[in-house]
Amino acid sequence: MSFPSLARGTAKSPVTNIMFLKTHKTASSTVFNVLLRFAEKHNLSVALPEGEHFHLGYPWLFLARYVEGSEQQRRFNIMCNHLRFNPPEVQKVMPEDTFYFSILRNPVFQLESSFIYYKSYVPAFQAARNLSAFLASPWTYYNRSASLNNAYARNNMWFDFGFDNNAWPEDGYVRARIAAVERHFQLVLIAEYFDESMVLLSHVLHWTLDDVAYFKLNSRSQSSVTSLTPQDQERAKRWCALDWHLYQYFNRTFWARIHTELGPRRLRNQVALLQERRHQLTDLCVQDGAPKKQSQIKDLQLKPYQSGEADILGYNLRLGLDNATLQLCQRMVMPELQY
């Protein structure tokens, strides 16, 4: 079953030159999977990391030489691996008509996810007993000059956009940087409204709903999610004030754009169609109809990378699928590193 395009007028060709700024712990791995499947379907070139790397130079500012094949001054259709945004260098490997977009998440929950996922990797997190202890006295643990890896511990999304994650959140500075994001990015999605984000993305790119159908990837089991008190949530907003300003601003623009370009009725209809398609694909592809903990995943090719104290979920596929269906299902559940 396929869905009609959401584009205004079916004659419009799908957008194929795309730069996705893959922010951390924001459902960006699921978007990454959507983009790679689209690239395969349309035989598009992807700007992959050079050598054995799986990031494009992160956490250093991006340089064109971090891309495999960039020495031939190639241009690529799709760029979607983690990088720290550096516009002049990105423009060296992407076409002039590239569509730029990214995704943000409420920084309270983005920080909670980062703490669990990067607990053993980030110096600021290592000595803290838990996130509540960290937020009660962050400067006890955080040293801004200790390591770039500490960027995961404070205003990480701001950092991913190429800005100083330790800057003072003064109004003029914040407004200027947000204006810079708007100049470079035609769309910023919101992780808390992921289905709505996929509907808007398909509309803007002139893709079909099938193109943005997805399974959640790189998500954690509920047992590894920490429930934060209201006090800790307020502390997280203050500690990540730059991210909080960024998120609030683009949450507003996201809904304003949906209202202008889709409207409530059309949005509800398209979200319902997308959810129906996901249910169909789950029934078709997924054994028991639900994601599994790492210990329960049978196919090593489909086992996601485990990090920190997180239990990253994956999928077992149904047995007896025909070759075409198996290929479709494998691509939809394939973890980032394997893909």
Tens of pLDDT along 99-139?
999 999 999 999 999 999 999 999 999 999 999 999 999 99
Q: How far apart are CA 27 and CA 334, in angstroms?
A: 15
Determine the average pLDDT of the residues in 312-326. Answer: 92
Looking at the DSSP bridge assignments, the partners of residue 5 are: 208
Report yes or no: 228 and 236 within 8 Å, Cβ to Cβ.
Answer: yes
Determine the average pLDDT of the residues in 34-60. Answer: 94
CB neighbour list of residue 94: distance below 8 Å, 6 or more residues apart: 17, 19, 47, 75, 76, 79
Q: Please return the burial class of 201, using the count of CB atoms within 10 Å of its CB with bins 0-12, 13-18 and 19+.
A: buried
Determine the average pLDDT of the residues in 234-262. Answer: 98
Residue 3 has pLDDT above 60, yes or no: no
pLDDT at 291: 86
Residue in 326, 243, 245 with CA at minimum distance from that of residue 285: 326
Count of residues for the chain? 339
Determine the average pLDDT of the residues in 218-238. Answer: 87
Determine the average pLDDT of the residues in 166-194. Answer: 98
CATH architecture of 18-333: 3-Layer(aba) Sandwich (3.40)
Residue 71 has pLDDT above 60, yes or no: yes
Q: What is the residue extent of each domain of the chain?
A: 18-333
φ, ψ (nearest 5 deg) of residue 120: -90, -5
- Kindly give the interhelix angle for 323-333 and 264-285, rounded to the nearest 10 degrees: 120
**Within 10 Å of residue 225's Cβ, how many Cβ atoms?**
15
pLDDT band at 1 (very low <50, low <70, confident <90, very high): very low
Q: How far apart are CA 247 and CA 157, in angstroms?
A: 9
Q: Among 15-24, 257-266, 283-292, where is mean pLDDT lowest?
A: 283-292
Report yes or no: 197 and 189 within 8 Å, Cβ to Cβ.
Answer: yes
Report yes or no: 316 and 297 within 8 Å, Cβ to Cβ.
Answer: yes
CA–CA distance from 336 to each of 22, 34, 224, 237, 328 (Å)? 12, 11, 20, 29, 16
Determine the average pLDDT of the residues in 237-242. Answer: 98
Report yes or no: 85 and 161 within 8 Å, Cβ to Cβ.
Answer: yes
**Token output for 48:** 């992959």
pLDDT at 257: 97
Looking at the DSSP bridge assignments, the partners of residue 19 are: 79, 100
Question: Residue 19: helix, strand or coil by DSSP?
Answer: strand
